[in-house]
Amino acid sequence: MGDETARLTPPYGSYLLLTEGSDRMLISVTEGDTVSKPNDLVQGTLDLLVLKMLALEPMNGWSIGQRLKQLSSDVLQVSDGSLYPALHKLEQEGWVTAEWRPSENNRRAKFYSLTRAGRKQLQVEAGNWDRLARAITAVVRLQEV
């Protein structure tokens, strides 16, 4: 994508697409327009969401993506190209562990679990998100003159 601006029309314009790579665009949930994003915004948000899903219960990658989609009423859709590198990074950080075992359909799948360090990191990430959300809300709600 580089410095170019892309626009997605429905059905994509109504979703927040969490994607990987060096793209510097984030799709607006409400308008389908693109806005620039800081490098770490999407990755940090994805880490927070994955850690939260794994705090609920151990899951395989496919289940994490489906659960996020379900809980967000189809607003959050994570591509495999973003999810699996994020899971690998979280595993390298020591925030999740992984083990191969049969999935619900009896296929071999890698199941991820939150570690104690991962629970602590989830608290840090959630606190950071809360501060960011409050700051953005405060600015957005400013009265116009």
Q: Is residue 85 part of a domain?
A: yes
Q: Does a structural domain hold residue 4?
A: no
Q: What is the pLDDT of residue 42?
A: 62
64: domain CATH number is 1.10.10.10
Does 126 reside within a domain? yes
The answer on pLDDT for 142 being more than 70 is yes
Q: How many domains does the chain have?
A: 1
Tens-place pLDDT, residues 14-57: 444 454 444 433 433 444 444 444 445 566 899 999 999 999 99
Joined tokens for residue 56:
């609920």
pTM of the model: 0.72
Residues 6+ apart with CB under 8 A from 56: 67
Select from 85, 97, 95, 86 the least CA-distant residue to 58: 97
Tell me: the pLDDT tens digits for 91-138? 999 999 999 999 989 999 999 999 999 999 999 999 999 999 999 999
In a domain, 108, yes or no: yes
Q: Domain for residue 145, yes or no?
A: no
Parent domain of 104: 40-140
pLDDT at 145: 82
Q: Is residue 16 part of a domain?
A: no
Taking Cα atoms as reference points, which of 115, 86, 112 lies closest to residue 101?
112
Confirm whether 97 is domain-assigned. yes
Tell which wins on pLDDT, 11 or 66: 66
Q: With respect to residue 101, please indicate whether it lies within any of the assigned structural domains.
A: yes
